[in-house]
């Protein structure tokens, strides 16, 4: 798990250095390098792929590289996209947190059938968002806070908090890293640079990463 996390965080670091938002991170877009074993403990295992939705934060809307309002697959979508807030590389870090949690529990953390259901599912795990993040006139929060699914399940904030969801995680440092990826506020969310310095990774850096590896090593 540590090696996989390390590779993903390096990819996120290089994307941010290049001012690129991937905007569609999910397990399908993280590739195991041919010939590598998932239980391998040394050397690079992964590359991030599929840049079909990638964009440049702040690019003009007339540019091919601008970030549209709706990006990211629903199950790996960051709060900023639901709330029409500015898009930065931090949306990718949120997706990384969801992916890491999924690698542990075996299923997606969020599982809504539509964007309101998904937002309600997000609150079940993370609790309500800070009030200052909800733009005036944005009604997704009001609809999600009382949402009932097609099967009759009434979504409730904090129904399954992250600590309960990841109860089987016996590494407190890994849990802390995931929790910091899943902060509502992108300003409080851990960055790729900070993640690479996090004790979960910092204390077990493979020898190969003592040197600067090229961007192509982590992106395809």
User: For residue range 132-190, what is the model confidence (pLDDT) as tens digits?
Assistant: 999 887 789 999 998 998 889 899 999 999 999 998 788 899 999 999 999 999 999 99
Model-wide pTM > 0.85: yes
Domains of the chain: 2-217 (1.10.510.10)
Mean pLDDT for 24-49 is 78
Q: Characterize the bridge pairing of strands 30-32 and 46-48.
A: antiparallel
The dihedral built from the CA positions of residue 142, 184, 175 and 77, taken in this order, carries a sign that is: positive
Secondary structure class of 219 (helix, strand, coil): strand
From the CA atom positions of the chain, what is the Rg in Å? 17
> Side-chain half-sphere of 212: how many Cα atoms within 13 Å?
4
Q: Which of 7, 24, 92, 117 is catalytic?
A: 24
Report the alpha-carbon distance of residue 52 to residue 169 in Å, rounded.
Answer: 33
Mean pLDDT across the chain, nearest whole number?
86
Q: Is residue 24 annotated as part of the catalytic site, yes or no?
A: yes
Which structure tokens are listed for 23?
């905007």
The shares of helix, strand and coil residues in the chain, as percent rounded to the nearest 5, are 40, 5, 55
Query: Rounded to 10 degrees, what is the CA torsion of 68, 73, 75, 80?
Result: -10
**186: nearest Cα among 69, 125, 96, 105:** 96
């Amino acid at each position: 798990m540590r090696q996989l996390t390390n590779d993903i965080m390096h990819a996120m670091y290089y994307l941010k250095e290049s001012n690129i938002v991937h905007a569609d991170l999910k397990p399908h877009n993280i590739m195991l390098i041919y010939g590598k074993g998932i239980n391998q403990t040394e050397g690079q295992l992964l590359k991030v792929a599929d840049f079909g939705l990638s964009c440049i934060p702040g690019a003009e809307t007339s540019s091919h590289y601008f970030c549209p309002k709706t990006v990211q697959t629903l199950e790996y979508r960051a709060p900023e996209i639901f709330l029409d807030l500015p898009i930065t590389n931090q949306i990718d870090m949120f997706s990384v947190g969801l992916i890491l949690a999924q690698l542990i529990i075996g299923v997606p953390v969020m599982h809504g059938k539509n964007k309101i259901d998904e937002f309600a599912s997000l609150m079940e795990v993370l609790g309500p968002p800070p009030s200052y993040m909800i733009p005036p006139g944005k009604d997704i929060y009001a609809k999600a806070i009382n949402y009932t699914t097609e099967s009759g399940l009434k979504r409730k904030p904090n129904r399954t908090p992250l600590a309960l969801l990841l109860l089987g995680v016996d590494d407190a440092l890994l849990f802390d890293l995931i929790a910091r990826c899943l902060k509502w506020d992108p300003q409080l969310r851990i960055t790729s640079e900070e993640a690479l310095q996090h004790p979960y990774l910092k204390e077990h850096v493979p020898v190969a990463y003592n040197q600067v590896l090229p961007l192509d090593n982590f992106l395809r």
